[in-house]
Structure 1
Amino acid sequence: MSVVTPFPKTASRIHDDPPSFRQAFRHLAGGVSVITTGHGDERTGLTATSVSSLSAEPPTLMFGLNLSSSSFPVLARNRSFGVNFLNAAQKQVADRFAGRNGEKGAARYAEAEWTSGIAGAPLLVGALAALDCEVEEIIERHSHAIIIGRVRDVRLGDNDAALVYWRGDYERLGWMTEEVGTALGLRTF
């Protein structure tokens, strides 16, 4: 027999309340990725916590993108993008791509090292993993588009601590490589 625990009487039961909806999802921890797209001065991107694998055969992924985002028309036009899983030391990259200090477009790429994938997307050197993708499908729903991408190349980085988003802020999950060596009393060269 299962026991169902009711919500406290103070719980919000408003069905169409965007602030409550956003607040609820801040309790769901998610990996932090930077989505990159464009070339040259048209490069742009965004910080995303909605990236999810869709299929391993063929390798595809998906994420949500606000239709009013300045990145949406660039991604739709270029039809290629990078998904860069951030490590715990890359919080500043997440902040820049989230525009927390007003950075826009190509300015978001400052102070980090980038390379190009085979589909042409900018990929972050030092990311936990960087996936080079081509747009397979764009499905518009409500205020967002579901972007489905076919993964063309995977580049794996170090097995460092991950950057996660939880309760409205960035947190770290795990240990950085150098911390593991220190904890184990190993010398790194």
Structure 2
Amino acid sequence: MTSATPDPHSESLNERFRAGFRHHAAGVSLVTCATPDGPVGLTASSVASVSAKPPMLSFSVARTSSAGAVLVSSERLAVTILGEDDVLVAAAFAKHGAERFTAEQGWEDGDGGLPVLKTAPVTMWGRPGRVIPAGEAWLVLAEIDRVEFGPACGPLLYHDRAYRSLHEVPVVLDRDAARRRV
């Protein structure tokens, strides 16, 4: 008996794919840039090291994201790796319409207007080198030219629709959504 190859565009496969990745814990970062109207940014759990020579990282962003469109066309961007103490900042950036880039959250103006989160353990600056269309997203290869370290702390992770630290204290954004399974 042969089984048919599943249609890669079927809603069932797409939902199962998303559900499968809920089991994949990932670090949490913010990708930001400066614009004449102020800073723009988004939460990214897709940041990954690509190359050490030259320093390069990747992240993906939905092509429907207005912040994503600004980021991929920016001349400079910052990738801020968040620590466990930055969970409220991560939650604000993940929620549409939430207040962002406030002094209370720990943001300061940096070089070239790029925002700097003084509580973050690592910030990397660079530029989008290549932007590759990939399904509903863009895969961005960013060339890094500066890395700065902040306070030492444990990592902030995203797993099964919740922010977590290595201390296993989940911070759930939407308890009802976290209970639902596909």
State the number of aligned residues.
159
Question: Secondary structure of the residue that 1:109 maps to in structure 2?
Answer: coil
1:25-44 matches, cutoff 5 A: 25-39=21-35, 41-44=37-40
Partner of 1:83: 79
Cα distance, 1:41 vs. partner? Answer: 2.8
Greater Cα offset, 26-35 or 36-45: 36-45
**Matching residue's letter, 1:28:** H
**Matching residue's letter, 1:167:** D
Deviations 1:51-73 (A, max 9, x none): 00000000000000101111122
Structure ID, larger Rg: 1
Partner of 2:65: 69
- C-alpha distance in structure 2 between counterparts of 1:139 and 1:125, whole Å: 31
The answer as to whether partners of 1:50 and 1:63 remain within 8 angstroms in 2 is yes
The answer as to whether partners of 1:80 and 1:134 remain within 8 angstroms in 2 is yes
Partner of 2:171: none
1:140 aligns with 2:136: no
Q: Indicate the RMSD between aligned Cα atoms, in angstroms.
A: 2.1
**Matching residue's letter, 1:137:** R
1:146-165 matches, cutoff 5 A: 146-165=139-158
Identity among equivalent pairs (%): 31
- C-alpha distance in structure 2 between counterparts of 1:116 and 1:154, whole Å: 16
Q: Which one of the candidate residues 114, 118, 128 is aligned to 1:121?
A: 114
Cα distance, 1:89 vs. partner? Answer: 1.3
- C-alpha distance in structure 1 between counterparts of 2:69 and 2:112, whole Å: 18
Cα distance, 1:119 vs. partner? Answer: 6.2
Question: Secondary structure of the residue that 2:105 maps to in structure 1?
Answer: coil
Cα distance, 1:150 vs. partner? Answer: 0.8
1:5-44 matches, cutoff 5 A: 16=10, 17-39=13-35, 41-44=37-40
1:108 aligns with 2:100: yes
Q: TM-score, length-normalised on structure 1?
A: 0.76
The answer as to whether partners of 2:42 and 2:68 remain within 8 angstroms in 1 is no
Partner of 1:168: 161
